[in-house]
Amino acid sequence: MSKAALSLGIIIGNRDFFPDSLVEKARVEVIDLCHSLGINPIVLDSNTSKLGGVETFQEAQKCANLFKQHAEEIIGVWVVLPNFGDEKGVADSLKLANLNVPVLVQAYPDDLDKLDVARRRDAWCGKISVCNNLYQYGIKYTLTTKHVMRPNDAEFIKDLQDFLSVCKVVRGLKNVRIGAIGARPGAFNTVRYSEKILQRNGISVVTSDLSEILGNANKLTKDDAIVKDRLEKILAYTPIGKTPSEAMIQIAKLDAVLNNFMLEHSLDATAIQCWTSLQKNYGCNVCTSMSIMSENMLPSACEVDVTGTLSMYAMQLASGSPSALVDWNNNYADDDEKCVLFHCGNWAKSFLPDIQISNAPILGTSVGVENTYGALDGRTPAMPLTFGRISTDDPKGIIKAYIGEGELTDDALKTFGNRAVAQINDLQGLMQYVCRNGFEHHVVMNASKTAGVLKEALSNYMGWEVYQH
């Protein structure tokens, strides 16, 4: 997201009974904190309303008009209560602005030695009243970890940064464009989804027949400038191992066409028919291109798993780092809280410090190993783990998800492809939930701890059914 997009609307609630100094000081603290965190605060100045706060309906109108002027850049609104505040002033500002963005409600604590008339805040009580009014108005909002917190508290700064991530997820998901390239492999009913349910939630899917992509790739030659350019980028991205030069040309030609397709349709993510037509009719794997896209924050999922790549995109927005689509693949010996995550080889190289281009041995048994170059080989080391999955539940007509956190470990694992060992508390219970609720065998991993951000964004603001493990 652009720097301009990181703007927050600020509503400073006020109630005239309380001392002016509390509001004046809060306004300075909030603006200074925003600037220190690289946030652009959109807030009334003291010449437009009393102390730059909002209390009356007229001030609410002024605040709403200011927010409307910056509607394209405001990704969320921070409600600040240095005192009890005016519940209607806050709610009216949000209703009139009609931004439909996440709202964070923060209230200042009182000091025990300052509860006299001249210095008391009563924001503890005022926050309850503000939230009550937002609930009445049907305006969704986010709460801080503690009921009252000062803006400069380390815990609140973490809350504010998490709130910004929530805002990015919500804005991103409401405007995402996903390319579905090719038909779902016939054996993969598991990745069926409802394009109509996604569209109702602002998620657009652009489809293309795989033959069009392969046809355009076959028109290119090794001497075309675009092929040379993509080949250079691939060679700069990863070692090629024992991959033949002929296979590298095939990979580069396909990469060039996919890159143009994404640019032509302004896509944020893709889901690609990665087997077996590609290997039989073109002669390579598309994993390397998918890895490059995912590493560059344009997530790409295999087997035309559209809701899989949507899950990758959501996690990427929450964390600011690449995601990977994986299989819940194997038990890890007799350890009930560990399992093996695996895929042929398209994970972003952020997960693969020992990355190199290889082939796909399992797929090669049916299509010929020589037709599977382009799959990546590499082991993911220990790192934080957020996992999850978004899915359309067509019988219910809803979007649902599950999310959780764990760890990726350095436990021994002798196999091929892209691989990792995950440790998750109550893994057996999680697998029971996945199976009983009809989720796919694909899950998404991200090297972060962002389950809370995702739960808030997907459940509270997107209105989806979310289980947090």
Q: Taking the CB of residue 117, how many other CB atoms lie within 10 A of it?
A: 8
- Give pLDDT, residue 1: 43
Distance of CA 266 to the CA centre of its chain: 18
- Give pLDDT, residue 380: 98
- Tokens for 260, please give them: 């143009």
| Residue 184 · residue 224 · CB < 8 Å | no
- Tokens for 33, please give them: 């904190």
Rounded CA separation 8/66 (Å): 12
Give the H/E segment covering residue 260: helix 245-265
Q: How many residues does the chain have?
A: 469
Give the H/E segment covering residue 401: strand 398-409
Rounded CA separation 330/339 (Å): 6
Rounded CA separation 432/22 (Å): 52
* Contact residues for 227 (Cβ-Cβ < 8 A; gap 6+): 220, 221, 249, 252, 253, 256
- Give pLDDT, residue 18: 79
- Give pLDDT, residue 2: 43
* Contact residues for 33 (Cβ-Cβ < 8 A; gap 6+): 151, 152, 157, 160
- Give pLDDT, residue 118: 75
Cα dihedral 162, 168, 171, 176, rounded to 10, equals -130
- What single letter denotes the amino acid at residue 38? G
Quick one: residue 458, left, alpha or beta (phi over 0 = left, psi -120 to 50 = alpha)? alpha
Q: Which residues pair with 178 in a beta bridge?
A: 205, 269
Rounded CA separation 300/302 (Å): 7
CA angle 10, 13, 17 (to 5 degrees): 155
Nearest by Cα to 241 from 343, 351, 360, 327: 360
Main-chain phi, psi angles of 56, to 5 degrees: -85, 170
Beta strands in 163-237 (DSSP E): 177-181, 204-208
Beta strands 7-12 and 74-81: pairing type? parallel
Q: Taking the CB of residue 227, how many other CB atoms lie within 10 A of it?
A: 21
Rounded CA separation 67/43 (Å): 8
- Give pLDDT, residue 117: 78
Cα dihedral 127, 128, 131, 137, rounded to 10, equals -130
Q: What is the mean pLDDT of each run of 10 residues along the chain (469 residues)?
A: 71 86 92 96 94 94 98 97 93 98 97 85 94 98 98 98 98 97 92 97 97 97 98 98 96 98 98 93 97 98 97 98 98 98 96 95 91 96 98 97 98 96 98 98 98 98 98
> Distances in Å between the alpha carbon of 169 and those of 11, 72, 79, 450?
22, 16, 20, 11
- Tokens for 119, please give them: 């210095």
- Give pLDDT, residue 72: 95
Q: What is the pTM of this model?
A: 0.96
94-142: pLDDT as tens digits: 999 999 999 999 999 998 988 887 788 999 999 999 999 999 999 999 9
Rounded CA separation 346/289 (Å): 8
